[in-house]
Amino acid sequence: MDRPAHTPARLPAHAHVAALTLLALAGFVLTALWTQWVRQDLDWVQATLSVYLHGPWGLALRTAYCVLAVAIMLLAWSLHAASRSPRRSAAAPLLFCVAGLGLMGVAIGDSWLPGQAPLLAPLVHGLAANTAFLCVSVAMLLQSWYLRADPQWARWASAAWWWAWLCFALLWLHVLWRGPPRGAGQKLVIAAVVLWLFVAALQLWRQARREEAARK
């Protein structure tokens, strides 16, 4: 019997990757909230999240950044491997990976660059952060568009598509409109992106479990 042109790998790994991504996202959110709670010296409305990478609990937040970056990369390739969409391509996972590298660049660069190369640190931070934000927002749009053509994902992907556009709009609003508090604006964009990733990982986990149950 002939097999279709593309059959997603029947791997429990998809469920494992999704579960690990959910844990990484939860860990990131809890660490970020805890860091802002204990850092009474900073105004959470004005201070961007990257400010909390320094000082008390900064190492924990930098670690959460790196763990989240790796989880995003794994989730991206797992979504790619599990997709049956005719629009399937490597563009979205590659952009997610570049975004993850940018996130790591923010965390790792902010750990030692400010002390070793104080003039270079702001440039590296800005380049890494902007790369992470821009690449993840475009990757979310592409991935949602791919999945809309996949019958198993179409129902969720339609909402994901519009949520990705909202994230894209919020990002550019934050960049171009300097009126609102910078900290609150940046954290709103981060929260919107994290929510998209969380739901994508949850849907991947559910889909993998359904396929596993159907094979039994």
Burial of 53 (0-12, 13-18, 19+ CB in 10 A): buried
Positive or negative: CA dihedral 135, 140, 146, 152? positive
The pLDDT assigned to 135 comes to 97
Q: pLDDT tens digits for 90-148?
A: 999 999 999 999 999 999 887 777 767 777 878 888 899 999 999 999 999 999 999 99
User: Which among 86, 80, 113 has a CA at the least distance from the CA of 11?
Assistant: 80
The pLDDT assigned to 61 comes to 95
Contact between residue 160 and residue 196 where contact means Cβ atoms under 8 Å apart: yes
E runs forming strands in the chain = none
For 37-50, what is the mean pLDDT?
A: 92
User: Is the model's pLDDT at 72 over the cut of 60?
Assistant: yes
What DSSP line would sit under 54-99, residue for residue? SSTTHHHHHHHHHHHHHHHHHHHHHHHHH---TT--SHHHHHHHHH
For 43-70, what is the mean pLDDT?
A: 92
User: Is the model's pLDDT at 7 over the cut of 50?
Assistant: no
Per-residue buried b or exposed e for 137-152, using 16+ beta carbons within 10 Å of the residue's own CB: bbbbbbbbbbbbebeb
The CA–CA distances, whole Å, from 181 to 42, 43, 61 equal 13, 10, 22
The pLDDT assigned to 214 comes to 67
The pLDDT assigned to 34 comes to 96
For 75-89, what is the mean pLDDT?
A: 87
For 9-30, what is the mean pLDDT?
A: 86
User: Is the model's pLDDT at 5 over the cut of 60?
Assistant: no
Burial of 195 (0-12, 13-18, 19+ CB in 10 A): middle
The owner of tokens 């105004």 is 43
The pLDDT assigned to 62 comes to 94
For 71-96, what is the mean pLDDT?
A: 91
Distance CA 86, CA 117 (A): 47
Q: pLDDT tens digits for 162-201?
A: 999 999 999 999 999 988 898 999 999 999 999 999 999 9
Average pLDDT across the chain, whole number: 88
pLDDT band at 1 (very low <50, low <70, confident <90, very high): very low
Report the predicted TM-score, pTM, of the whole model to 2 decimal places.
0.89
Tokens of residue 176, six digits: 């171009």
Contact between residue 134 and residue 166 where contact means Cβ atoms under 8 Å apart: no
The pLDDT assigned to 173 comes to 94
